[in-house]
Structure 1
Amino acid sequence: MNDVRMPATVAEAEAAWLVAITNGDEEQRDLMLPDCVIVHGPVGNVHDRERFFSYNASMGPIVEAETSEVACLERGGRAIVTCFQKMRVRRLPDLPPFLVQAVATRVWCSTDEGWRLGHMQLSRRQPSA
């Protein structure tokens, strides 16, 4: 892990995650448990942390991310966060970033170092009409 301060609260972890996904694998890796599982994509991929990073690299960098309608249930050293998440992905350098919308569920685990991501599910959604 890099020399970074781990989030002390779930709100800090969520804010750090949105920054990390726009800054690359290392910052994301620092926030994730080594055995973190990610369920994502239109076909329901189930990936470990490193496979998820490989998949993301093939999609292009996320240049902007935001969440809304955030709900959090915290108990027993675990927190389940559900939200709508918007990400702008730069697929090609000469085109504007592509908007991806998802419903995200993240399970954060309290560790001695701070809150770390243990599981994430991203379900793509279509923009409302």
Structure 2
Amino acid sequence: MTTDVRVPDTVAQAEAAWLVAITKGSEERRELMLPDCVVVHGPVGNVHDRERFLSYDASMGPIVEAETSAVTCLERGGRAIVTCFQKMRVRRSPDLPPFLVQAVATRLWFSTDEGWRLGHMQLSRRQPPA
């Protein structure tokens, strides 16, 4: 299967590609993730490998919109840690408006011969500001 996602040359491109990929589907995200990527997520702290995370995420419904704010990046020695607030709108039912999920995200990117790839991600849900 060929997709529009290209493994990015910079961390900023990786982050931008990730936001596009999460609205496209599992294959697009898989291309940006290392095979041994680990994701910690969910209200109970699930720890999933790449394939289990992609399967779990697909079962929640399609993400129709994603954005980040308050992005910080620390890059050293072929690794980059990105932290941000992330909003995603998930369509759980075609009859309802998309459900808003807010999280604090931390992503660890690795520079590889193919470009920057995701090696670890942690998503901690947060309550909307009052």
Q: Which band: TM-score by shorter chain?
A: over 0.9
Aligned twin of 1:6: 7
* 2:26–2:58 CA contact under 8 A, matched in 1: no
Partner Cα separation in structure 2 for residue 106 and residue 2 of structure 1: 25
Shift of 1:5: 3.1
Aligned twin of 1:79: 80
Unmatched runs of 5 consecutive residues or more in structure 1 = none
Unmatched runs of 5 consecutive residues or more in structure 2 = none
Runs of 4+ in 1 over 2 A off after TM superposition: 1-5
Aligned twin of 1:26: 27
Partner Cα separation in structure 2 for residue 123 and residue 5 of structure 1: 27
Aligned-residue identity in percent: 86
CA deviation map 1:32-90 (0-9, x unaligned): 00000000000000000010011112211100000000000000100000000000000
Relative to the length of structure 1, the TM-score reads 0.97
Shift of 1:2: 4.5
Partner Cα separation in structure 2 for residue 120 and residue 2 of structure 1: 25
Aligned twin of 1:42: 43
Q: How does 1:1-129 map to 2 (within 5 A)?
A: 2=2, 5-129=6-130
CA deviation map 1:96-129 (0-9, x unaligned): 0000000000000000010000000000000000
Q: Which amino acid aligns with 2:107?
A: R
Q: Which amino acid aligns with 2:97?
A: P
Report the RMSD for the aligned CA atoms in angstroms.
1.2
Partner Cα separation in structure 1 for residue 79 and residue 119 of structure 2: 9
